[in-house]
Amino acid sequence: MSSADFRVESNHPIATRLLPVSGSRQYFFCDRALAVAMAAKSTTKPSGQEIRVVHVPTGEVVFRKAAANRAEWSEEL
Protein backbone atom coordinates (compact mmCIF):
# COMPACT_ATOMS: atom_id res chain seq x y z
CA MET A 1 0.00 0.00 0.00
CA SER A 2 1.12 3.53 -0.71
CA SER A 3 1.30 6.30 1.87
CA ALA A 4 -2.08 7.72 0.78
CA ASP A 5 -4.39 4.71 0.71
CA PHE A 6 -7.12 6.36 2.81
CA ARG A 7 -8.54 9.85 2.57
CA VAL A 8 -10.61 11.57 5.25
CA GLU A 9 -12.79 14.06 3.40
CA SER A 10 -15.72 16.42 3.73
CA ASN A 11 -17.44 19.06 1.63
CA HIS A 12 -16.77 21.46 4.51
CA PRO A 13 -13.51 22.27 6.34
CA ILE A 14 -12.58 19.59 8.89
CA ALA A 15 -11.81 20.87 12.39
CA THR A 16 -9.69 18.81 14.75
CA ARG A 17 -7.03 19.38 17.38
CA LEU A 18 -5.42 16.04 16.57
CA LEU A 19 -3.83 17.13 13.27
CA PRO A 20 -1.13 19.78 12.81
CA VAL A 21 -3.20 21.69 10.21
CA SER A 22 -6.91 22.13 10.84
CA GLY A 23 -9.37 23.46 8.29
CA SER A 24 -8.55 21.37 5.23
CA ARG A 25 -11.29 19.43 3.42
CA GLN A 26 -9.18 16.28 3.13
CA TYR A 27 -6.38 14.44 4.92
CA PHE A 28 -4.48 11.34 3.77
CA PHE A 29 -3.48 8.30 5.86
CA CYS A 30 -1.75 5.00 5.19
CA ASP A 31 -3.66 3.14 7.91
CA ARG A 32 -7.42 2.49 7.70
CA ALA A 33 -7.93 2.31 11.46
CA LEU A 34 -6.14 5.62 12.00
CA ALA A 35 -8.16 7.29 9.23
CA VAL A 36 -11.44 6.07 10.71
CA ALA A 37 -10.42 7.15 14.23
CA MET A 38 -9.46 10.62 12.98
CA ALA A 39 -12.74 10.97 11.10
CA ALA A 40 -14.75 9.84 14.11
CA LYS A 41 -13.01 12.36 16.39
CA SER A 42 -13.27 15.27 13.96
CA THR A 43 -16.00 17.82 13.30
CA THR A 44 -16.66 20.24 10.47
CA LYS A 45 -17.12 23.98 10.20
CA PRO A 46 -20.04 24.57 10.16
CA SER A 47 -20.47 21.74 12.61
CA GLY A 48 -22.62 18.72 11.95
CA GLN A 49 -21.68 18.04 8.33
CA GLU A 50 -20.73 14.64 6.91
CA ILE A 51 -17.15 13.28 7.10
CA ARG A 52 -16.11 10.23 5.03
CA VAL A 53 -13.13 7.88 4.85
CA VAL A 54 -12.45 6.78 1.27
CA HIS A 55 -10.17 3.97 0.14
CA VAL A 56 -8.23 5.93 -2.51
CA PRO A 57 -7.35 3.09 -4.95
CA THR A 58 -10.98 1.90 -5.26
CA GLY A 59 -12.99 5.00 -4.32
CA GLU A 60 -15.00 2.93 -1.83
CA VAL A 61 -16.37 4.81 1.20
CA VAL A 62 -15.24 2.66 4.15
CA PHE A 63 -16.58 4.91 6.93
CA ARG A 64 -19.16 7.66 7.03
CA LYS A 65 -19.83 10.02 9.93
CA ALA A 66 -23.25 11.27 8.96
CA ALA A 67 -24.40 14.86 9.13
CA ALA A 68 -25.99 15.60 12.51
CA ASN A 69 -29.02 17.34 11.04
CA ARG A 70 -30.40 14.37 9.10
CA ALA A 71 -34.18 14.04 9.11
CA GLU A 72 -34.24 10.48 10.46
CA TRP A 73 -32.48 11.67 13.61
CA SER A 74 -35.10 14.29 14.28
CA GLU A 75 -37.70 13.54 16.96
CA GLU A 76 -40.31 15.29 14.86
CA LEU A 77 -41.47 13.20 11.90
- What's the pTM? 0.80
Residues 15-44: what's their mean pLDDT?
Answer: 91
Residue 77 has pLDDT above 50, yes or no: no
Can you give the residue ranges of every domain in the chain? Answer: 6-73
Mean pLDDT of 39-44: 94
Q: Which residues contact 5 (CB under 8 A, 6 or more apart)?
A: 29, 30, 32, 55, 56, 57
Q: Work out the mean pLDDT of the chain and round it to a whole number.
A: 86
Q: What are the pLDDT digits (tens) for 5-29?
A: 999 999 999 988 888 787 899 999 9
| DSSP tag of 71 | G
At residue 73, does pLDDT exceed 70?
Answer: no
